[in-house]
Structure 1
Amino acid sequence: MSSKRVLPDESSSTSADADKNNLKPHQTVFRVTLQTRKKPTEFHARRAHKKSRAGCVTCKNRRIKCDENRPTCSKCKKRGVDCLYASGESLADHGHTSSRVISRKSPTLSVSSFSCCDISKTICEALRLGSRSSSTLPSFVHERAGSMSTVAFHHFLTHSTDTVVSPAVKDVMRTDMIRVSFTSPHLMYTILAVGMLHLNRISPSKDRSIAESTFCQRALEEYQKALSSGVTENTTDALLSSCMLMSGMTVCPENFNPLDSWVLTNKPESLNWLSLQSGLRCILSLASSYLPRSIWATAFAQVDEVGDLIFRDLQQGREGMNPELADLCEIDDYSTGQTNVYFDPLRMLTSLMNLERNAENSGHCTSFMGRLECDFVALLRARDSPALLILAHWMGLMCCLSEWQPWVEGRIRGECVAICMFLEGHGDSRVRRLLRFPAGACGYKLCQIQG
């Protein structure tokens, strides 16, 4: 059937009209009345105007026009990203007091407030201290030092550090650690990598992914170089800082899929993210004589004091442990950490499961990763069922605490799902029953009915 639409002030088209205008009968015809061409108007010169050259760095980096609203332009406000100007404004002009960020001076830093241009210049100078000269840096780092690097640095200070639960650790990150980074290339690169990673997870983009990967690569290169030179009193603070930040980066990969887990791929190297968590313990042992004078001394003492209170309650036996899980691990009333490889991890898990679930305790629960010994990690690589269940229960606990530890969504939840997928077909009914808590916590629906 022919479909014809006619404007109210026009007559309907006939088939003859369609043939006359070479239109197919089934086509819809729109008729509009064209306005009579008016007499050309006189030419008027365009009013002089000033081009926008003072837009924010963030818009310039995204190659879009900035409306130059201060302190936050509308484009950045709409996307919910940091709006950073590089026209000499200080961080305080954006509602951030830089003296709060760098409050402890050193001989190389005699000012308490930096403009964005100053910070960009200082970042570049810190990066040039490494083995690579500025001319060999990636082009986007070299050419956009006032944009990508500065935005990542600013985001780390004002947003990434806010995710740290411990006030003592957060304070060091915003003060002394920043001072150290200005003379340590691997720490500066690591800070930029963390800031860009955090920003890229909030607002993903191709440029940010490239920046994140490059900063990570440079951080690892400089970090390995620093480690090979040995741990000294002068390098302890920077190495400890980089190690802690890198440990956090490994649990926040981009677009992690449970099918990528070592459990399902049977690739033991895919568990390296967990092995790296013990790196801090190694550096602490090498730098034990320097720790009293470290910038981290007070913060670590507070964390260790609480940790000792949490984990000191049970040194032998199975009291308080999940009885079915203890049976599966063959833990009896006489078991200790020296006689049973599962004892210490299950003892720590038991203590953490008994804590009240709140922001403060969520930070203590994260320490579980760094306390695992090599023998237990080896069992995980071999996909040992009892070891996997202990890890899955801790991951399930962290999923319950994700309100205060959002990094859990990066890898931990997906790894927990992978373990549930791997173990749900296990022949031992105890294993299947013990999956109930981790599966429910990570959101995985078990296919089989447990007995």
Structure 2
Amino acid sequence: MVVSALDAGDGTNRKRRVHKKSRLGCRNCKLRSVKCDEGRPNCKRCSDYGVNCSYINAGADLEVLLKTTAGPEKEPATAQPLYQTMLGIMDPPSSSMPLVVEPNAGSVLSSQADMDRFTRFRSRTMYSIGNDTTGPMYRENLLRLSHQYTFLMHMILTITAIHDRYLSDPPQRLRTYAEIWHWTQASGLFNQALSNPLNDQDLDAIWAAAALLGVIVYSSTDATTAEESWPLKCSGDGELEWLRICDGKKTIWQLTNPSSRPGSGFFCITTEPQMRNEYLFPDPPLLGAEGLPPDLAQLCEVNAYSTSDNNPYHGVLHALAPLLDMEMTRASGPRFFSLLHFLSASFRTLLENKDPRALLVLALWYARICNSGMWWVDKRAKLEGQAICIYLERYHWTHKTVMRLLEGPKMRCGLPSTPASLSPGLIAERVVR
């Protein structure tokens, strides 16, 4: 966004004018140690650099500036709404790091540390993404495209840095400088790429980045205990950010549409039968509760006349039901994560508001994936699964059906079957009641 200019003072107090003058100058220019021309509303150096000008402390440092080149206006491309939907979905973890535009993807590997990190991706981390069917396709395309697209190379280095942190002994809780740096670059450059119409040859790189994006955002959690996890601890709007990113991935899929491009490196996802069965999940029925566990359907008021339009639980329950009898493995992983495509906006709102039925549904899903053995899956699933169970026991313990259906998730997420997860004060409060 463009920030308004600071006023130059009241014109009557010399000391105040001097103080104001000493604070003038774009903060982004100061970060880059260049002289600011103090142009309003944007200084020329920031405009040339491709970032938003920031004269006040409330603005984000070096936020990517989305602008059009001067000249005759062009008709927007038909896919422009999809681009606009994706813009800004990824917020860098640190706004104090400048966006650096490298001349090519290879220049990202300018240090020995990053070259070693890329080597670890090729020999270790990339084999933890996908399964035996889809994995080779993703590995081939990621390695090929990462040397052509800078944002994809930064994403690869980001996910490898996260993996390094998970494997450290003891596991490192806080994000490393390398992780934050590469994520800042990846997010800024990816949003920058999406701000412009794409050529056909760019679409595979965009989808590859979106695929990595889901893994990065889901696995990025600093919590080490249930008490530090959502919904027990809420530190801001970013608690369910990974769910918002899933919406962005759906938009990217529509935008890149590999199934309509035979030349796409991902064309076989939707055309090869085995990949299609593993990767795509059948759409839920348009109407009714057939196939749903009766007690869960009754709790969520899904009946013979329910649809996704009149009941926010309808679609996600139909996607969840067949998973309740399955175990998540690398082979079945895509099927489990395809459930996220059926989380409607109304259901996400229920989660944000900590609706007990929506939380129970998410806990049931977490319980099925928390013991998958996949490094980027299990931590969030177990901690947030435990946190949901504890939250529901603390604040909705009078809801008998919720408590009964919660027993399975508690056991699978590693909690005792008794309300031992309650704080001593809350247990005493129950006894008094």
- The amino acid across from 2:320 in the alignment is L
Which amino acid is 2:318 matched to?
A: R
1:261 partnered with 2:226: no
AA partner of residue 259 (structure 1): E
* Structure 2 counterpart of 1:183: 148
The one-letter code sitting in structure 2 at the alignment partner of 1:415 is E
1:243 to 195, 201, 210: 210
**Residues 29-428 of structure 1: matches in 2 within 5 Å?**
132-133=101-102, 145-203=110-168, 209-253=176-220, 255-257=222-224, 258-266=226-234, 267-288=236-257, 291-302=261-272, 305-306=276-277, 311=282, 314-355=285-326, 358-400=329-371, 402-403=372-373, 405-425=374-394, 426=396, 427-428=398-399
Shift of residue 173, structure 1, vs aligned partner: 2.7
Distance, in Å, in 1 between the alignment partners of 2:252 and 2:346 is 19
Larger Rg: 1 or 2? Answer: 1
**CA displacement at 1:159 relative to structure 2:** 1.0
Q: Shift of the alpha carbon at 1:291?
A: 3.9
CA deviation profile, 1:167-206 (whole Å, cap 9, x unmatched): 3432233222222111211001001111222122112579
**TM superposition shift of 1:406:** 3.0
Runs of at least 5 residues in structure 1 that lack an aligned partner in the other structure: 1-129, 135-140
SS in 1 for 2:227: helix
Structure-2-length-normalised TM-score: 0.65
CA distance in 1, matches of 2:280, 2:240: 30
Distance change >3 Å, CA 355–CA 312, structure 1 → 2: farther
Question: Conserved in 1, the CA contact under 8 Å of 2:162 and 2:179?
Answer: yes
CA deviation vs aligned residue, 1:388-407 (integer Å, no higher than 9, x gap): 1111100000024x23x332
Structure 2 CA distance for partners of 1:254 and 1:340, relative to 1, 3 Å: closer
Query: How many aligned positions are there?
Result: 311
- Structure 2 unaligned blocks of 5 or more: 1-98, 421-433
Alpha-carbon shift at residue 215 of structure 1 (Å): 1.0
Looking at structure 2, the residues matched to 359 and 291 of structure 1 have their Cα atoms a distance apart, in angstroms, of 27
Q: Percent identity?
A: 27
TM-score under structure 1 normalisation?
0.62
Q: Deviations over 1:93-144 (max 9, x none)?
A: xxxxxxxxxxxxxxxxxxxxxxxxxxxxxxxxxxxxx95258xxxxxx98x8
Q: What SS does the corresponding residue of 1:234 show, helix, strand or coil?
A: helix
Secondary structure, aligned partner of 1:333: coil
Displacement of 1:377 after TM fit?
A: 1.2
Instruction: Tell me if the contact between 2:155 and 2:213 (Cα under 8 Å) persists in the aligned partners.
Output: yes
Once the two structures are TM-superposed, the CA of residue 146 in structure 1 deviates from its matched residue by 4.2
- Which position in structure 2 is the counterpart of 1:113? none
In the alignment, the residues of structure 2 paired with residue 171 and residue 445 of structure 1 have an alpha-carbon distance, to the nearest angstrom, of 40
| Residue 269 of structure 1: how far off its partner (Å) | 3.0
Structure possessing the higher relative contact order (Cα contacts under 8 Å, 6 or more residues apart)? 2
Contact kept? 1:190, 1:219, Cα under 8 Å: yes
Q: Distance in 2 between matches of 1:295 and 1:309?
A: 17
